[in-house]
Amino acid sequence: MTENFHALAAQDHAEPLAAQVGVLYAAALNDDLPGRHLTLGGNGSRATFGLPTGATLALGAHRGVVDYQPEELTLCARAGTPLSELEALLAGHNQSFAAELPQPSAQSTLGGAIATGWDGPARAFGMSLRDSVLGCRVINGRGEIVRFGGQVMKNVAGYDLARLQVGALGTLGAILDVTLRLQPRAEHRAAISFEIAPSELPQWWQRTRALRPLLSGTCYLDGKLHLRFSGRAVAVHDSVRELGGDASDLDWTALTNLQLPFFGGDRLAYACLPRFSQLPLSTGEGLIEWEGARVWVRDGDHHALARDAARLGGFVRVLRGPGVPSLVDAPGWHRGLRAALDPLGLFNPVQFKAVFCAAEDR
């Protein structure tokens, strides 16, 4: 059964948005607008994390649920729809997103979540945002509306192209709507903590391997290792009782939404690393998630951080503060795909060069 969400159905601005892009494309093609480009944006909730502001193609008004099939565990919604509205809708059916989506503010949108590609603490123990995407519609650089993927797993045409929109920062097109996989809500959650030294983390990562599938988050901050469990109430209680420790005082919602005091300030970067990595950090310098696979750093030398991450087989993204040159250039297929979808490079060219291109290629 498909549910009808008439209250939001009228807020479809796909055609006018595509027309805007088409006009700019035609002008740029005729050299009437040299050097012009489109910066994409929704409600601006991620601008404080170094993403573009002053968007010329505003997607925030393009909102609403297109299709929700609780029995199929799928949802299709427009890019400008606030995540908070979607979560409230899903909660009414005892469901949630299959991936954990950060919401930096109450205005955070689905399109912003897809474009940035950020995952919450559960990423290392469940489904990533990219893996949860079944399909999407985008406006390409010619002002055409194209669809990738579908609304069910068996429709795989364009499936991978839809997933590549996750984390692309709008450089592969303007996202109009997205179809996502859902899951039943966890029956119970609980969290415990242990005071340990950074040098003890590798031993703890060995222990956490045995805690799946109930483990849904790890966080090391200020000398404490916090473990979150989700699942059947009886199983969660048994795991917590067996491990011992103290009740965790960490605000997991604030952690997910990047709203802890740690994330404030003028500088913020994170390193993505192979799981169980050990980046050289002192207590208080960083916040470690995903069993060592993601490390947030608010102070220090971002260039040194990038070198250390590259040595371990990872990379760094700077959200606030002086940027660092990419040490890995965009692969040929990425450049080819961008050229096919956006031949004149209208969409977020500054972001593409800053994030996906090596310094010598800019």
Cβ(285)–Cβ(220) below 8 Å: no
Amino acid at 41: G
How confident is the model over 226-238, as a mean pLDDT? Answer: 97
Q: Do 141 and 213 reside in the same domain of the chain? A: no
**CATH number of residue 163's parent domain:** 3.30.465.10
Q: How confident is the model at residue 285 (pLDDT cuts 50, 70, 90)?
A: confident
Distance CA 141, CA 337 (A): 12
Residue 295 lies in domain: 188-320
pLDDT at 103 over 90: yes
Q: Are 281 and 297 in contact (CB under 8 A)?
A: yes
Per-residue pLDDT of 19-59, as tens digits, reads 989 988 888 887 755 556 777 765 555 555 555 544 468 88
Residues 35 and 68 in one domain: yes
* Whole-number pLDDT of residue 54: 40
- Residue 94 burial class via C-beta count within 10 angstroms: exposed 0-12, middle 13-18, buried 19 and up: exposed
Q: How far apart are CA 279 and CA 294, in angstroms?
A: 10
Is 52 in the same domain as 181?
yes
pLDDT confidence bin for 362, thresholds 50/70/90: very low
Give me the mean pLDDT over the 231-239 stretch. Answer: 96
3-class secondary structure, 266: coil
Contact partners, residue 134, CB within 8 Å, separation at least 6: 74, 149, 150, 151, 152, 153, 155, 159, 162, 179, 180, 181
Same domain, yes or no: 301 and 355: no
DSSP conformational letter for 321:
S
Whether pLDDT at 359 is above 80: no
**Do 32 and 170 share a structural domain?**
yes
Tally of structural domains, the chain: 2
Residues 22 and 103 in one domain: yes
> Are residues 181 and 201 part of one domain?
no
Summarize pLDDT for 126-180 with one digit per residue, the tens.
Answer: 999 999 999 999 999 999 999 998 765 554 455 588 999 999 988 899 999 999 9
Q: What is the pLDDT of residue 300?
A: 78
pTM over the 0.75 mark = yes
DSSP 8-state class, residue 4: P
Q: State the Cα–Cα distance between residues 49 and 320, nearest whole angstrom.
A: 6
Rounded Cα distance between 313 and 224, Å, is: 26
DSSP 244-256: --EE----HHHHH
Same domain (yes/no): 272, 247: yes
Identify which has the larger pLDDT, 265 or 233: 233
- Establish if 325 belongs to a structural domain: no
CA angle 322, 114, 66 (to 5 degrees): 150
Tell me: do 166 and 143 sit in the same domain: yes
| 122 contacts 322 by C-beta, under 8 angstroms | no
Residue 293 lies in a domain: yes
Same domain, 73 and 176: yes
Structure tokens given for 161: 């192209």
* ∠ CA 147-152-154, rounded to 5°: 100
